[in-house]
């Protein structure tokens, strides 16, 4: 064998012995929304963006049916509320696995790879109420998987909040909360023996939000004027610091080599001073670049996280705002699957692709009746905002500062759309009025809801949205002109198009009428 061939062989062997570690990017798909994009449309969106992994918080049959045959790898979840039952009874665990896993897997079925046993069950604010169920629930479900012949394929994990260990000031001092030491040791042993990663949720945004002296640039990935020096290691971003705090904590219970996956990580786009599009884009793109370069962290050089699931796929306007208004605005896509900002996930598309064929309700809105004064709307406003989402009206929201009357219109419309445009829901004792003219202004988008009675339908391009024409044109032009007329907009409606926009769109396909029709879902004559 020549020296060259020998060197080549040595290289090959080395490559085989140590396959280069690579992180895979996935997303969290939550469904706490009254405007749910139909699951088949979501699956198309995931595939168009080449996202190969998805993490669910439950095992919703409609979602799982849509994922069948998609090739996506799926994590389903035992909810915290289900933990006690599953922990207390092997039969309950068998039933859970039969109903939520076994019946979906197999040829042409759903590629379920993980079951999350609880969601952040050790969260400090739960005051230990789920803690004792976790290991027994895992044990029972593992037995059920063995019986179902799925144990070698489907692995159990427990997504943990970083508050399980977060108290340390230096990463090397990382240690699990004292009351969790025993459970974490059992959990790590379990994961280690089954070859599953420790799953942790990391949120530099929350560190910044909760602490006024948290150095802002340390939350991002562009280097920091306040690096954390920890012995021989220097940390320039909170993500790495947090990750290595976990590595250190695992090391102290004897599992310093356990693979780690990131169950949730992301940045919201509104609802707090540091939540905005620029910051969200900077964080998520920085994270993707960080992960894609496979450099790892000081304690795990060259070993990136096993998987990274972005939080979140969509904005979810039914989430609790107890933590803050930002809670409803974590999506890389708006509620209806439109990209909020350019993001390269490193999966082949330079930017995110929008959802297509979203079945919007007709292009109409509910606003405050201009003929009425606003003397008697306070209670209506309160009711509307208690049911639907008005967080965008607050300071730090995209509709902040639109004025009193517009505030009322916004609230009325949110409620009206949530009620699926039921005419009665726009009454408000005569203070409401239905309009066919998009009341959106600037960044403030008056939404049009989604018709989730259909599984998919024609699209008006989401353009109630004031979004098309401002960067969404690329997607708009992909919609077929043949769809016009499906949205029941009366023929007398006209719309002010910017001449420039018309010109741009006419150029795109040469069919001015069709493009005007799809630009904003309102049809001329
Ligand atoms: C967006 O958030 C970042 C991060 O906190 C902040 O530095 C920036 O000023 C914010 N931008 C705007 C326009 O509010
Ligand atoms: C609009 O509503 C928001 C949120 O309730 C409030 O902060 C703001 O002051 C309102 N604006 C006017 C002009 O009433
Ligand atoms: C978490 C989850 O979705 N669990 C489901 C398992 O299956 C049963 C029966 O279909 C549902 O009732 C549970 O909600």
Three-class DSSP category at 309: strand
Q: What pLDDT, on a 0 to 100 scale, did the predictor assign at position 21?
A: 62
What predicted TM-score, i.e. pTM, was given to this entire model?
0.84
Q: Is 100 in the pocket of ligand 3 (CB under 6 A)?
A: yes
Taking Cα atoms as reference points, which of 410, 413, 416 lies closest to residue 442?
Answer: 410
Q: Are 476 and 468 in contact (CB under 8 A)?
A: yes
CATH 3.20.20.80 fits 21-328, yes or no: yes
Which stretch of DSSP H or E encloses residue 114?
A: strand 111-117
The residues carrying an active-site annotation are 120, 264
Domain with CATH 3.20.20.80 in the chain: 21-328
Q: What pLDDT, on a 0 to 100 scale, did the predictor assign at position 294?
A: 87
pLDDT at residue 508 tops 50: no
Q: Which residue is associated with the tokens 């077929």?
A: 480
Q: Please tell me what DSSP assigns to residue 441.
A: B
Structure confidence by residue, pLDDT tens digits, 196-221: 999 999 999 999 999 989 999 999 99
Give the sheet arrangement for strand 73-78, strand by strand: 155-157, 111-117, 73-78, 53-56, 24-29, 307-310, 260-265, 198-201, 160-161
Taking Cα atoms as reference points, which of 210, 241, 244 lies closest to residue 228?
Answer: 241
Q: Is 471 in the pocket of ligand 2 (CB under 6 A)?
A: no
Q: Please tell me what DSSP assigns to residue 62.
A: H
Which ligand has its closest atom nearest to the C-alpha of 92?
3
Q: Is 509 in the pocket of ligand 3 (CB under 6 A)?
A: no
Least confident of 60-74, 158-172, 176-190, 398-412: 158-172
Q: Which residue is associated with the tokens 């705090």?
A: 245
Q: Please tell me what DSSP assigns to residue 511.
A: -
Q: What pLDDT, on a 0 to 100 scale, did the predictor assign at position 478?
A: 29
Within 6 A (CB) of ligand 1 lie 216, 274, 276, 278-279
Q: How far is the CA of 186 from the centre of ligand 3 (A)?
A: 27
Taking Cα atoms as reference points, which of 244, 86, 258, 243 lies closest to residue 189?
Answer: 258
Taking Cα atoms as reference points, which of 266, 463, 496, 85 lies closest to residue 97?
Answer: 85
Which of 390, 404, 407, 412 maximizes ligand 2 atoms within 8 Å of its Cβ, making it the mutation to test the pocket? 407
**Which atom of ligand 2 has the smallest separation from the CA of 385?**
5
What CA–CA distance (Å, rounded) separates 420 from 454? 13
Q: Are 412 and 433 in contact (CB under 8 A)?
A: no
What CA–CA distance (Å, rounded) separates 283 from 289? 10
Across 404-470, the runs of DSSP E, i.e. the strands, are: 432-435
Q: Are 207 and 214 in contact (CB under 8 A)?
A: yes
Return the bridge partners of 272, or none: 275
Question: Per-residue confidence at 365, pLDDT binned at 50, 70, 90?
Answer: very high
Structure confidence by residue, pLDDT tens digits, 298-328: 999 999 999 999 999 999 999 999 999 999 9
Taking Cα atoms as reference points, which of 37, 133, 26, 16 lies closest to residue 79?
Answer: 133
Burial 55-64 (b: 16+ CB within 10 A, else e): bbbbbbeebb
pLDDT at residue 499 tops 70: no
Which of 31, 59, 62 maximizes ligand 3 atoms within 8 Å of its Cβ, making it the mutation to test the pocket? 59
What CA–CA distance (Å, rounded) separates 305 from 189? 19
pLDDT at residue 246 tops 80: yes
Structure confidence by residue, pLDDT tens digits, 81-119: 999 999 999 999 999 999 999 999 999 999 999 999 999
């Amino acid at each position: 064998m020549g020296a060259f061939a020998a060197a080549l062989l040595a290289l090959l062997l080395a490559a085989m012995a140590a396959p280069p570690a690579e992180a895979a990017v996935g997303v969290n798909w939550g469904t706490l929304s009254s405007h749910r994009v139909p699951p088949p449309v979501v699956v198309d969106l995931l595939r168009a963006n080449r996202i190969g992994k998805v993490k669910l918080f439950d095992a919703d049959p409609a979602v799982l049916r849509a994922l069948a045959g998609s090739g996506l790898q799926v994590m389903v979840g035992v909810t915290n509320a289900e933990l006690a039952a599953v922990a207390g009874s092997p039969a309950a665990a068998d039933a859970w696995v039969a109903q939520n896993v076994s019946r979906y897997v197999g040829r042409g079925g759903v590629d379920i790879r993980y079951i999350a046993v609880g969601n952040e069950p050790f969260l400090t604010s739960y005051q230990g109420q789920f803690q004792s169920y976790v290991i027994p629930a895992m044990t029972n479900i593992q037995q059920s998987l063995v019986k179902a012949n799925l144990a070698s394929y489907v692995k159990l994990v427990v997504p943990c909040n970083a508050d399980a260990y977060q108290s340390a000031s230096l990463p090397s001092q990382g240690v699990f909360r004292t009351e969790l030491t025993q459970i974490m040791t059992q959990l790590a042993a379990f994961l280690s023996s089954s070859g599953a990663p420790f799953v942790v949720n990391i949120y530099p945004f929350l560190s910044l939000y909760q602490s006024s002296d948290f150095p802002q640039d340390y939350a991002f990935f562009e280097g920091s004027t306040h690096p954390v020096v920890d012995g021989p290691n220097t940390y320039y971003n909170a993500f790495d610091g947090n990750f290595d705090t976990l590595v250190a904590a695992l090391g102290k219970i004897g599992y310093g080599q356990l693979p780690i996956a990131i169950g949730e990580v992301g940045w919201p786009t509104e609802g707090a001073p540091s939540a905005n599009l620029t910051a969200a884009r900077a964080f998520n793109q920085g994270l993707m670049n960080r992960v894609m370069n496979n450099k790892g962290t000081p304690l795990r050089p060259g070993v990136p996280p096993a998987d990274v699931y972005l939080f979140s796929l969509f904005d979810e306007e039914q989430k609790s705002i107890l933590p803050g208004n930002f809670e409803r605005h974590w999506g890389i896509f708006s509620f209806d699957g439109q990209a909020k900002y350019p993001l390269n996930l490193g999966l082949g598309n330079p930017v995110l692709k929008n959802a297509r064929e979203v079945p919007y309700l007709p292009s109409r809105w509910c606003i405050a009746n201009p003929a009425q004064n606003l003397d008697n709307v306070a209670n209506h406003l309160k009711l509307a905002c208690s049911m639907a989402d008005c967080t965008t009206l607050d300071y730090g929201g995209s509709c902040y500062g639109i004025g009193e009357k517009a505030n009322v219109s916004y609230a009325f419309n949110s409620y009206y759309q949530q009620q699926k445009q039921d005419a009665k829901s726009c009454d408000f004792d005569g203070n409401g009025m239905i309009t066919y003219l998009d009341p959106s202004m600037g960044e403030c988008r008056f939404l049009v809801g989604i018709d989730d009675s259909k599984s998919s339908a024609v699209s008006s391009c989401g353009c109630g949205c004031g979004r098309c024409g401002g960067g969404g044109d690329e997607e708009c032009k992909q919609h077929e002109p043949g769809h016009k007329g499906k949205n029941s907009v009366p023929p007398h409606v006209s719309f002010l198009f910017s001449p420039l926009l018309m010109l741009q769109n006419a150029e795109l396909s040469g069919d001015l009428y069709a493009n005007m029709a799809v630009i904003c879902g309102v049809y001329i004559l």
